[in-house]
A = this chain, B = another copy of it.
Amino acid sequence: MSIQRENKRDEVSAAVVSRLPKYYRCLRDFLNNDKLRVSSKELAEAMNTTASQIRQDLSSFGGFGQQGYGYNVKTLYTNISVILGINDTYSAVIIGTDRLGAVLAKESVFSKRGVILRAAFDSRSENIGKEILTDIYVRDLSELENFCKSCVIDIVVMTDYPEYAERLNNCGIKGIWNFTGAQLELKNINEDISVQDVFLGDTLMMLCYKINMKQKEKS
């Protein structure tokens, strides 16, 4: 088993893939505004990038554009939806129900992406038993592994207890959405499990970096 799950080649396509959700959102907005055809230039404006980047990105997924016509918005939207698995459904549980966990549970982001929240877990006695969403009462964290196995859970949303990640190796789960702020040790996690980190602090660092760069340009 290789520790590096992604090589340089994957890295390139990962950059394209990371832009797909934004393509998806832009195209959805076009469709909502009854725009049926779009040029790479228009798409570039909406995506805040260049037309050549657009053509390059989309061609790596089979190139759905047509010279002189541009892209058919609905076809492109449908194709990207399929690539992203937008119409698939997944079951999920949340670990950690303080602050962020409690807020995330109520977000529409799950239902919008076909993710059904089935349960929430915490180890703090004051949280256990609370109804954090209609008919979803916080369970004891010790029940997590059995629950994931018996209820065939796809995704674990971790907002706390990062040390629990390794205990999920044999529960049949397929993905971890990691909000814990801790870097999970991928070498200790089953390769069948995909991990998506969300480090809010990283995006704040990025913003501060951009601000600094602009200040330097001006001075």
Contacts and interface: CB of A to CB of B under 8 A. Distances in A.
Contact of A204 (B106, B177, B206, B215): B177
Contacts of A192: 214
A186 to B, nearest CB: 6
A147 interface: no
Number of copies: 2
A210 B198 contact: no
Interface string A98-127: 011011101101101111000000000000
Given A49-B11, A207-B177, A209-B85, A198 B200 contact: yes
A18 B183 CA distance: 16
Given A177-B203, A199-B21, A208 B4 contact: no
A85 B3 CA distance: 31
A35 to B, nearest CB: 15
Interface string A49-88: 1101100000000000000000000000000000111101
B175 A211 contact: yes
Interface stretch (A22-30, A128-136, A137-145, A163-171): A22-30
A44 B17 CA distance: 21
Contacts of A109: 200-201, 204
Nearest to A154: B211
11 contacts: A4-B44, A8-B52, A17-B206, A25-B202, A26-B183, A85-B208, A90-B211, A113-B204, A176-B207, A192-B214, A196-B203
